[in-house]
Amino acid sequence: MDAIAEVRAFNRFYTEVIGVLGPGMHDSPYSLTEARILYELGQTSSPMETGEIRRLLGIDAGYLSRLLTRLESEGLVTRERADHDARRQVVSLTESGTTTYADLDQKSAAQVAGLIDGVELPRLLTSMATIREILGGGPRSDTVVIRAPRPGDLGWVVQRHGAIYTREQGWGPDFEALVARICADFLDNLDDPGQGGWIAEVDGRRAGCVFCVRKDGETAQLRLLLVEPWARGRGVGARLVEECLRFAADAGYTRIRLWTRDVLTAARRIYQAAGFEVTGTEQAEGFVDEIWERDISGFTDRN
């Protein structure tokens, strides 16, 4: 497959789908770049420096100046010197510009609503997020949502454990099979009030997971903590562990344990911060298996 030709073909397809090849956006006299300027200005309640607009749009100063001159002549924007630095220029929408921006924004939303009507939306959004991630764009926010597993989530748990740990640690099918058995046991015991599971989402995208299962009448076991590589550093792992500890305490357990390996340094830091301590080790080939435990009688959040 010619990768360059495939990407160019996708670009042609997508630009045709969203209608940017016509003379103006949404039957307006304004080009895509001009509409983007109005959009960026419409997102802020204060004037925006021209340098910031250039950075957001990736265009040079001369081209931006020509576009602003046209928008100014249309009565849509005003330009003036910045109060804090007379060498800098700031741009604002006029009342007419605000109206035009709102009209273009409404038409754009309506177009997208029509485009996605009837499509397999979760698959579409996941695929779009994947493209953004691969090409350097991150999630739109750091908002983390913790929720219970839904149908299909356990398959994702198995697949992501297998893919991530094969790539990062070289663990093969035996590890993925272990994860599959843990997930199967969890599904077989859904009526057990002493077990629970959680999926973390960032921007509606699955970012991690953890499970609490019954070890015995007094002891819970934390299992399958995972955070996607793109979501690390956002506190996702700590939030998941805290949810698991809170659940275990509420379920009446007095102690919780987990199994991990010494090579999983990021996970070990999370466990240590959550109050776990190593209570047992066993040498394996290339790493050390570890048992971590902590008391949870009287547990409170961030105890």
pLDDT digits (tens), the chain, 303 positions: 588 888 888 888 887 777 666 666 677 888 888 988 998 898 876 788 888 888 888 888 899 999 999 999 999 999 998 877 777 889 999 999 999 989 988 888 888 888 888 888 778 877 877 787 777 655 556 678 899 999 999 999 999 999 999 998 999 899 999 999 999 999 999 999 999 999 999 877 899 999 999 999 999 999 999 999 988 888 999 999 999 999 999 999 999 999 999 999 999 999 999 999 999 999 877 789 999 999 998 776 544
pLDDT value for 142:
65
Instruction: Give helix then strand counts, H and E, for the chain.
Output: 10, 10
Alpha helices in the chain (DSSP H): 3-17, 32-42, 50-57, 61-73, 95-116, 121-134, 153-169, 173-188, 236-250, 265-273
CATH of domain 144-295: 3.40.630.30
Question: What residue segments make up the domains of the chain, in order of their start?
Answer: 3-118, 144-295
CATH of domain 3-118: 1.10.10.10
* Domains 3-118 and 144-295 equal at CATH topology level: no
Residue type, 42: G
